[in-house]
Amino acid sequence: MALRGNLRDFSTTQLLNLIHLARKTGCLTVRTPSEAARLYFRDGKLIHAHTASHDGHLATMLVKAGKLTAEQAQKILTRPEGRNDVQLGMLLIKAGHVSREDIIHSVRHYMLDIVYTLFGWYDGEFEFTPEALPSADRILVPINLEQVILEGSRRLQEHERLQDELPDLDHTALRFTNGADARLRTVNLTVEEWRVISFVSPRNTIRVIAQANNMDDFQVRKIVYGLMQAGIVELVRSSGPPAGAGAPGKPGAEQPPAIKRSLIERLINRIKRI
């Protein structure tokens, strides 16, 4: 099945969330007129990333992390083993230039820089190729997407998009998702995020949470959006006192008529015979 589209319609956050929840394995390619990125995933975890302008070789990553100079990297990349990240890593560790931790740290930061850049792309064709993995000579560092999504959302500065995702603060409340406790143990939350979490209840609208924490609409939207994308909370209609006139929830909405099981069974039997 195709997983193809444009970031205009399905954002980076939503894409990563989908890959994470569906525990997908494969390669996500995103192309804008000026740049392209490839992100590889295994079982819903980010394992490798590179862009058209950053080749994703270990030597380049170590330069970026300040562990090698650009000249050293250039020399390394001209040698055959310089193109094989696994071999190069072992050589550099043996020679005492870097430690194993330095390499993991550099690869991790390189990947995160790319993925966070993607959060700022709002227009670009994307395509997910299932089961496609990086070549065997690459060093793979699995990164849990929950934390990436949360951090990426923190960096998401576009007010309009947040407004689009959470248009109604006055009639919408929050509740914890199934498994929120486990997720809360694995993510690092800011003080502000904990303050919002302490007010999560179907009776508190998001507006009430914002007022209680002295936050403006943008701040509260940003935090709630991040918590939603990390799978910690979800939106519900407020179960608090009925909202004022014209509320979309329409407290007086007509309840469906009482229906009987026999009626539904008659419908089923008839539709089967169409």
Partner 1 sequence: MQAVKIVVTGPFNAGKTQFIRAVSEIDVVSTESKITDPAERIKDETTVAMDFGRITIEDDLVLYLFGTPGQRRFDFMWEILSEGMLGFIVMVDSARPETFREARYILQVFRSYAPTPYVVAANKQDLSEAWSPEDLRIALKVDPEVKVIPCVATDKEQVKNVLLELLYTILEQLELEETELAEEETER
Name the site residues for partner 1 (rule: CB under 8 A). Answer: 1-6, 8-10, 14, 17-18, 21-22, 164, 234, 237, 248-250, 253-257, 259-261, 263-268, 270-272, 274
Pick between residue 202 and residue 249 the one whose CB is nearest to partner 1.
249
- B/e letters for 45-69, b = 16+ CB within 10 Å, e = fewer, are bbbbbbbeebebbbbbbbbbbebbe
Which residues are within 8 A (CB) of 116 and not within 5 positions of it... i.e. 6 or more apart?
148, 151, 152, 155
Neighbouring-strand partners of residue 50: 38
Pick between residue 120 and residue 249 the one whose CB is nearest to partner 1.
249
Pick between residue 15 and residue 98 the one whose CB is nearest to partner 1.
15
Pick between residue 136 and residue 253 the one whose CB is nearest to partner 1.
253
CB 233 within 8 A of CB 184: no
Question: 3-class secondary structure for 28-77?
Answer: EEEECCCCEEEEEEECCEEEEEEECCCCCCHHHHHHHCCCCCHHHHHHHH
CA 4/CA 30 separation, integer angstroms: 10
Q: Residue 19 Cβ, how far from partner 1 at the closest point, in Å?
A: 9
Q: Residue 86 Cβ, how far from partner 1 at the closest point, in Å?
A: 33
CA 140/CA 43 separation, integer angstroms: 13
Q: Residue 240 Cβ, how far from partner 1 at the closest point, in Å?
A: 15
CB burial of residue 213 (10 Å; 0-12, 13-18, 19+): middle
Pick between residue 53 and residue 269 the one whose CB is nearest to partner 1.
269
CB 106 within 8 A of CB 65: yes
Q: Residue 117 Cβ, how far from partner 1 at the closest point, in Å?
A: 22
Pick between residue 66 and residue 248 the one whose CB is nearest to partner 1.
248
Q: Residue 17 Cβ, how far from partner 1 at the closest point, in Å?
A: 7
Pick between residue 40 and residue 126 the one whose CB is nearest to partner 1.
126
Q: Token digits for 149?
A: 């999504």
CB 30 within 8 A of CB 7: yes
